[in-house]
Chains A and B, each alone.
Chain A
Amino acid sequence: MTAQPLPEHPDFLWRNPEPRSSYDVVIVGAGGHGLATAYYLARNHGITNIAVLEKGWLAGGNMARNTTIIRSNYLWDESAAIYEHALKLWEGLPAELDYDFLFSQRGVLNLAHTLQDVREGVRRVGANRLNGVDAQWLAPDEVAEVCPILNVSPRTRYPVLGATFQPRAGIAKHDHVAWALARRADAMGVDLIQGCEVTGFLKDGDRVVGVETSRGRIRAGRVGLAAAGHSSVLAELAGFRLPVQSHPLQALVSELHEPVHPTVVMSNHVHVYVSQAHKGELVLGAGVDSYNGYGQRGSFHVIEQQMAAAVELFPVFARAHVLRTWGGIVDVTPDASPIVGTSPVENLYVNCGWGTGGFKATPAAGWTFAHTIATGEPHPLNAPFALERFATGALIDEHGAAAVAH
């Protein structure tokens, strides 16, 4: 394994137009999901009279703040289907978008440290295979073959008893993913409008007909919300509630190192996940902070615990220095699964609740949300993720396979 050079820093990839007074579709949120939605609305449905509104700067929220892990080894059929659709799209996107965003299928190990972890992992491997998702169960010596720097000694506090392995999983250069989607959407006529905060909704009875923004009133045939941690704030402005809670989710990176870590390692039990970025930083994540928050920072004890776990699993990390920490705001649902579909307001659609799983889902979230906005009906892949499931009880409880403590 050798360090890869980064792609050339791009020049201008999209226009910065003034917002027009009306569009066929307004997407709120120019993160990965909003950009992917606009891209697929144009590509799959021929709708190009679109504005994507962003209160800050393009892809400056969770898209800039995640650990870039891509995988589809979720337990339930509904989740495996949508995340595997995403992974298949990821595999074609660099060529399709003509942009090398360093999608690297280096595999992911989900470690087991207890007998119950082992049973859950073996069960999930079986479920994944039945759903056409590549998955293997590895014994500790096989885990060490995939990731030689991992300490699989039986004498650690929480020994590695095995791991699930998804070879097609990996990482991608998150900023470049956003820029690649933005460039293509822009080229197809989509207006990407930064510094434009949605402050209210224009309604005609129960139907949305536009948005109020910090840059004026914009009428819209249909409106799609893709605002992650701020989805419930927007929903409230539009007059309905969402069953989501916003939590800080932290990550950190080390200084640069030679390539030492060949895959992605996640552990639910001791709770850390680690990969090595192309440039050389070790990228470490943990669980969400327990309390609600919008502050884009989290608590120190979470960092302390994730680093303790990392050093026990990877003794070679003991002298690495933390370069920087940051937090994103994730919107967590009661069943740790997203909400993608219609809302109680006509012509207003929601894509939210991805919690800690949003980045990996980017293309599938865009694909299915674009379908829902274009047709007014859910795509078969997002139909199970309707808001109604909280009343019907048809929950998709992915707390375990989300692999991040919610």
Chain B
Amino acid sequence: MLLITCPWCGPRDEAEYHYGGQAHVPYPERPADLDDEQWAAYVFYRDNPKGPFAERWTHSTGCRRWFNVLRDTVSYEVLASYRLDAPRPELPQAGGNR
């Protein structure tokens, strides 16, 4: 089970959260200009990396707020968690549940 740090509530078991997929996927700036291929890319295509991945989680049985997590998809190590208005953190060193 993952130990995930909610930016507001602190570290909690994975079971308190729900997963929201890839983070930092902006809504199209000019949606009316998109063709079908571009809409498909926005709606259905997400990154699926082996290694660090920025993803969204919601603390559904706690404060119910959304936030972002950097997590390694191979080791499942939670590398960082941060608020939605914060940029994706650089990772000067791997490890730690910060």
Residues of chain A having any CB pair with chain B under 8 Å? 232-233, 241-246, 290-295, 297, 299-301, 334, 390-393
Contacts and interface: CB of A to CB of B under 8 A. Distances in A.
Interface of B: 1-2, 13-15, 18-19, 21, 36-37, 39-41, 43-46, 48, 50, 53, 55, 71, 73-76
Contact of A391 (B15, B36, B73): B36
Contacts of B50: 233, 294
B45 A301 contact: no
Contact of B73 (A294, A392, A393): A294
B37 A243 contact: no
28 contacts: A233-B50, A243-B40, A243-B44, A243-B45, A243-B46, A244-B48, A245-B48, A246-B48, A246-B73, A290-B18, A290-B19, A291-B19, A291-B73, A292-B53, A292-B55, A293-B74, A293-B76, A294-B73, A295-B75, A295-B76, A299-B1, A299-B15, A301-B13, A301-B14, A334-B44, A390-B44, A390-B45, A391-B37
Overall SS of chain B's interface: mixed
Contact of A291 (B13, B71, B75): B71
B71 to A, nearest CB: 7
A292 B73 contact: yes
Overall SS of chain A's interface: loop
A10 B48 CA distance: 38
Contacts of A299: 1-2, 14-15
Given A291-B2, A292-B55, A245 B73 contact: no
Contacts of A242: 45, 48
Contacts of A334: 43-44
Contacts of A295: 73-76
A294 B44 CA distance: 20
Contact of B74 (A243, A294, A301, A393): A294
Contacts of B74: 293-295
